[in-house]
Structure 1
Amino acid sequence: MDGMTWVEVDQDSGFGIENLPYGVFRRDGADARVGVAIGDLVLDLAGLAADGLVEDRGWFGTGSLNPFMAAGRAAWTTNRARLRELLTDASQREAVSPHLVPVADVELLRPFEVADYVDFYSSEHHATNVGRIFRPQGEPLMPNWKHLPVGYHGRAGTVYASGTPIVRPCGQRKVAPTDAAPSYGPCLKLDIEAEVGFVAGVPSTPGRPVTPRAFRDHVFGFVLVNDWSARDIQAWEAQPLGPFLSKSFATSVSPWVVPVEALEAARVTPPAQDPAPLPYLRVDEPWGLDLRLEILVNGQAVSRPRFDGMYWTPPQQLAHATVNGAPLRTGDLFASGTVSGPRKEERGCLLELTWNGAEPLELPDGSKRMFLEDGDTVTIRATAPGANGTTIDLGEVTGTISPANC
């Protein structure tokens, strides 16, 4: 058992009573519904609601977390407390047990409908490495980088559930930098970006920015993100505007949304910011997150980035995204940008790990990669410290590369 819960949970599981992440699942072809992970089981919230064990205002019988996310912080807090009560009070075991389903018996779906998608560029180590790769004679960081969280708007319609095959994209690219003109064909430098994202639940008023202090009132929880990237297409098209077709073909998200409350014990002081950010970006509490990521290619670990070194924090990202008055919508997804650390074994993408292909990455089985090949499977997973000395597992996001359809 895990701590206080009567559910059989392995002591090393990161899905104990201190986590209780939300997701959407389907079993035996039935309609999708909302569930919560506990150990290696899924607790069916729609089933609990039908038996009158939890409050439900049309939240849990749908194929999306959006209705519950829109309900707001009071509903989130009340439901979490009720679930903890049901899972720790042994007298509730007989009533709750019929609604526990082995996770191995269900299909985990994309947990929410994505309204808008924003991807940031918040790791100083990643931004510095990219600058050194593409501007070796210049300053690694652009002049604005330490004044604001740089980002771009992605495509909500291509945010996919973990496990969805990723088709190699096609587009214009220069096979060699010295080519006089671009050619059309499959991406030759297909890459990953290991990221952490957060999803908005409560909308905001148009024209009114969301302050860092209001982060918890709007943000439902965190997910893992793989922002697949076509580096050769990106190098040609991003002159001077940012990513377009090189990013919009696919982004993958993990199936479990870890509530903000579950990560309170993981909050740490982020890196010092110099120069001091403008007032709208100032945060009066530590909002770095002690998350430990791991990247696997074909089941083999190639990197272990840490999220606690990210220069720009989630509340700052949210504040900047709304400072112009752009309103939040339920399901807005904000990703951190590639998570990279100071050491080579902490780099969060193949662009950095292979230095744009100049230093091939040798996998533990002896094979080598400059970028992804068809058939490669990439998995990103992460953990964080939880309350009472526990571990919080953020699950994993995975995808396998399928051949191009050029």
Structure 2
Amino acid sequence: MTLDETHDPARRSWVDSANNRATDFPIQNLPLGMFTPGSGGEPRPGIAIGDNILDLVAAHQLKLLPESIREEAVFQSTLNALFASGPRPLQELRRRVGELLDAGPTGMIARDCASKLLHNMGSSTLHRPTAIANYTDFYAGIHHAIAAGVQLTPDDPLPTNYKWVPIAYHGRASSVRASGASVRRPWGQRPPAAGESAPAFGPCERLDFELEMGFYIGAGNQQGESIPLELAGDQIVGYSLLNDWSARDVQRWEMFPLGPFLSKSFATSISPWVVTADALLPFRAPAFARPVDDPQPLPYLLDEKDRAEGNLDVILSVFLSTERMRANGEKPVEIMASNARHVYWTPAQMVTHHTVNGCNLMPGDLIGTGTISGPSDAELGSMLELTVGGHRPISLPNGERRTFLADGDEITIRGRCERAGFAAIGFGSCIGTIVAAR
């Protein structure tokens, strides 16, 4: 993939809301998602443009899509088949839709069919993009790994293998939900209280979020085969925002020796729009700058192109809204910010390592980066870090205080790419609201 006319910052759309500088979805973006129109019906694939969604089913029926986009890939209730098409057809789809939405002569046909093609996003229902067969969450944010390790495993805050191998665990795909779904406070075993020998059992008392990016697999690989690093980028269709909700007290008790289980499996939230790898080309960034005394990756995890542009420059923000704030009409408050470029391992390295043993990735599989924190206290990715494990409560503008999340708290994650010489693009929102344990 190379920069082309689809990345031109001067390009404008006949959809007026796409030309608003504040929009996440200008014509230079065109992310993919699944939606149900306000009028009802089955979920169908669409592309976000400003405040609207272009209906890919309608576009196919009007014979407006490229020939490489097969009918059986469009008439689906998930994006799995479309993602399995591979990078070239998806690139052609983005280019063709850009032409249809362009304010110039190429967009005249679609403009005349606007009533059939466009649906208002605000009155539509957005869904999980794919039927996720497998979800893997990495631990690639080194600054989070160190900060969390100091609290969870103080004798060994950063595992000795961390700088050699991309660490991950297999998450629970069945509990991945699209933005907007509520998150019920989980039950579980908690560490024994002071002076007690037995663990406690009850609702989680240290509920947390994790600021992450997620990415989706395209065609995948056959079992027994691996994906070399120089080809791994072609397997990544696009990126979303991800929140891996975490029960920190349950996690602390259960994680040895096999890692998290119930503390993570109860809920994961993802944003509904998948920003394609093609749209993100202007915002590629170098791989994490390893200190001189860090080991170099083993040869199968080392590629000069990936080292030069394997990361993404995505500005990430987390907002908190309490139940009282919403009742009083107060706006959510930004409580932390970070950037996707802080991951120690690139997404392509994660894909390659995931398959080096012959593990087969499947179309629509979801991979999380792990919590993305930066090197300073101003760049954090979880309440665990922000409040130092609950020992340093934060105060909100209305006087409320938090160590971890309370029932009724709503977390919103946003992501945006900005670089001089290019149009800014965004990811929409990843939202989840805590509801009380049953």
Verify same fold: TM over 0.5: yes
2:209 to 179, 182, 192: 192
Q: TM-score, normalised by structure 1?
A: 0.96
Amino acid at match of 2:73: W
Amino acid at match of 1:58: E
Query: Secondary structure of the equivalent of 2:348?
Result: helix
Does 1:271 find its partner at 2:284?
A: no
Does 1:74 find its partner at 2:85?
A: no
Stretches of structure 2 that go unaligned for 5 or more consecutive residues are 1-8, 322-331
CA contact (8 A) 1:202 1:219 kept: no
> CA, structure 1 residues 210+178, in 2 after alignment: closer, same or farther (shift >3 Å)?
farther
In structure 2, the residue matched to 1:124 is: 142
Q: Deviations over 1:126-154 (max 9, x none)?
A: 01101222344x35311000001111000
Does 1:280 find its partner at 2:300?
A: yes
Amino acid at match of 2:101: L
> 1:177 and 1:382 mapped to 2: Cα distance?
41
Q: How far off is 1:233 after superposition? A: 0.6
Q: TM-score, normalised by structure 2?
A: 0.89
> 2:196 and 2:167 mapped to 1: Cα distance?
30
Q: How far off is 1:338 after superposition? A: 0.4
Matches within 5 A, 1:2-401: 3-8=11-16, 9=18, 10-27=20-37, 28-55=39-66, 56-88=70-102, 89-98=106-115, 99-136=117-154, 138-174=155-191, 176=193, 178-273=195-290, 274-285=294-305, 286-298=309-321, 299-385=332-418, 388-401=421-434
Q: Deviations over 1:225-280 (max 9, x none)?
A: 00000001111111221000100010011000000111111111122232000011
CA contact (8 A) 1:382 1:394 kept: yes
CA contact (8 A) 1:173 1:183 kept: yes
Amino acid at match of 1:116: N
> 1:4 and 1:172 mapped to 2: Cα distance?
55
CA contact (8 A) 1:48 1:96 kept: no
CA contact (8 A) 1:283 1:315 kept: no
Q: How far off is 1:367 after superposition? A: 1.2
> CA, structure 1 residues 199+386, in 2 after alignment: closer, same or farther (shift >3 Å)?
farther
Q: Deviations over 1:168-208 (max 9, x none)?
A: 11011126355311121101111000100111020202111
- Residues 13-22 or 362-371, more deviating: 362-371
Q: How far off is 1:388 after superposition? A: 4.5
Amino acid at match of 1:80: R
CA contact (8 A) 2:60 2:71 kept: no
Query: Secondary structure of the equivalent of 2:227?
Result: coil
> What is the percentage of aligned positions where both structures have the same residue?
41
Amino acid at match of 2:25: F
> 2:346 and 2:195 mapped to 1: Cα distance?
39
Q: How far off is 1:4 after superposition? A: 3.0
Query: Secondary structure of the equivalent of 1:160?
Result: strand
CA contact (8 A) 1:194 1:227 kept: yes
Amino acid at match of 2:204: C
> 2:251 and 2:423 mapped to 1: Cα distance?
41
Amino acid at match of 1:364: P
CA contact (8 A) 2:80 2:363 kept: yes
Q: Deviations over 1:274-306 (max 9, x none)?
A: 200001111322212101110011021100111
Q: Deviations over 1:20-42 (max 9, x none)?
A: 00011102221111110011111
Q: How far off is 1:105 after superposition? A: 1.4
> CA, structure 1 residues 6+184, in 2 after alignment: closer, same or farther (shift >3 Å)?
same
> 2:420 and 2:336 mapped to 1: Cα distance?
26
Stretches of structure 1 that go unaligned for 5 or more consecutive residues are none
Q: How far off is 1:85 after superposition? A: 1.2
CA contact (8 A) 1:201 1:220 kept: yes
Query: Secondary structure of the equivalent of 2:304?
Result: coil
Aligned pairs, how many? 404
Instruction: Flag as ranges the 4+ runs of structure 1 deviating above 4 A.
Output: none
Q: How far off is 1:7 after superposition? A: 1.9
Amino acid at match of 2:13: T
Query: Secondary structure of the equivalent of 1:108?
Result: strand
